[in-house]
């Protein structure tokens, strides 16, 4: 599809007219802290074989401030979401087993920006990850497609993304219900987009000399 026929993103007004995205209830959003909780979550995730994935970090308000994230890692199956606060008590072994597994597919938006922080902070090499921006753009979109636009394009739904929550302090020892819901939504909606598109494989890497944009966009 050439530049003249590229599809436009849904407008803000168009998205506002769509029915809301069907979120997971808070009762199905689980904080993973103990070994028992991690083992139970790992069983469910391994059984599913694929999860929506995202991270959250405390916002930086100074240009030269060092990035200390991720402070939260979220994973979601079709029916449950699992939230891990990355602190001294974090179940790192659980995160390593899921994120480093070649047998569990992780899907999300902007995954390129997650790889470095995960490796630097937790020593985890993200494996079997699919960048959904590239998948959705196959439908005929030239510009990067973020989660909110993808939910509108693929699901015909309006995903609520509060800027107040986006820029909240994700390093707090206790996350608010609104933060838990926001984190779960990002992972769960990513998986919903992937499933609705028929679980497509990742595009082949772009070789030297070819053109294209492989970077994701979370917007």
CATH number for the domain harbouring residue 132? 3.30.420.10
Q: Are 81 and 30 in contact (CB under 8 A)?
A: yes
Helix then strand then coil, in percent of the chain rounded to 5, is 40, 15, 50
pLDDT > 60? residue 57:
yes
Q: Is residue 206 part of a domain?
A: no
pLDDT in tens, 177-219: 999 999 999 999 999 999 999 999 987 654 444 444 434 445 5
pLDDT in tens, 114-158: 999 999 999 999 999 999 999 999 999 999 999 999 999 999 999
Q: Is residue 205 part of a domain?
A: no
Alpha carbons within 13 angstroms on the beta-carbon side of residue 157 total 17
pLDDT in tens, 66-115: 778 999 999 999 999 999 999 999 999 999 999 999 999 999 999 999 99
Backbone angles phi, psi at 131, to 5 degrees: -80, 110
CA 176, chain centre distance (Å):
19
Name the domain count of the chain.
1
Q: Is residue 138 part of a domain?
A: yes
Q: Is residue 34 part of a domain?
A: yes
Q: Is residue 211 part of a domain?
A: no
pTM: 0.89
Q: Are strands 105-108 and 81-85 parallel, antiparallel or unpaired?
A: unpaired
Q: Is residue 166 part of a domain?
A: yes
Beta strands across the sheet bearing 105-108: 29-31, 81-85, 72-76, 50-56, 105-108, 129-131
What domain range is 131 assigned to? 3-60+67-196
């Amino acid at each position: 599809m050439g530049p003249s026929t590229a599809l436009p993103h849904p407008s803000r007004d168009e998205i506002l007219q769509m029915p809301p995205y069907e979120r997971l209830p808070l009762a199905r959003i689980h904080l993973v802290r103990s070994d028992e909780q991690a083992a139970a979550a790992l069983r469910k995730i391994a059984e599913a074989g694929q999860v929506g994935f995202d991270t959250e970090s405390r916002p930086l308000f100074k240009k030269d401030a060092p990035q200390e994230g991720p402070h939260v890692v979220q994973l979601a199956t079709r029916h449950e979401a699992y939230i891990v606060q990355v602190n001294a008590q974090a179940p790192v072994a659980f995160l390593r087993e899921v994120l480093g597994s070649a047998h569990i597919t992780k899907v999300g938006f902007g995954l390129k920006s997650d790889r470095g922080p995960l490796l630097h902070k937790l020593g985890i090499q993200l494996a079997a990850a699919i960048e959904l921006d590239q998948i959705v753009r196959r439908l005929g979109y030239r510009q990067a497609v973020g989660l909110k636009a993808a939910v509108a394009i693929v699901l015909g739904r309006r995903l609520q993304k509060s800027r107040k929550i986006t820029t909240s302090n994700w390093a707090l020892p206790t996350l608010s219900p609104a933060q838990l819901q926001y984190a779960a939504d990002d992972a769960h909606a990513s998986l919903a987009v992937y499933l609705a598109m028929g679980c497509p494989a990742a595009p082949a890497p772009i070789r030297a000399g070819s053109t294209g944009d492989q970077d994701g966009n979370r917007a």
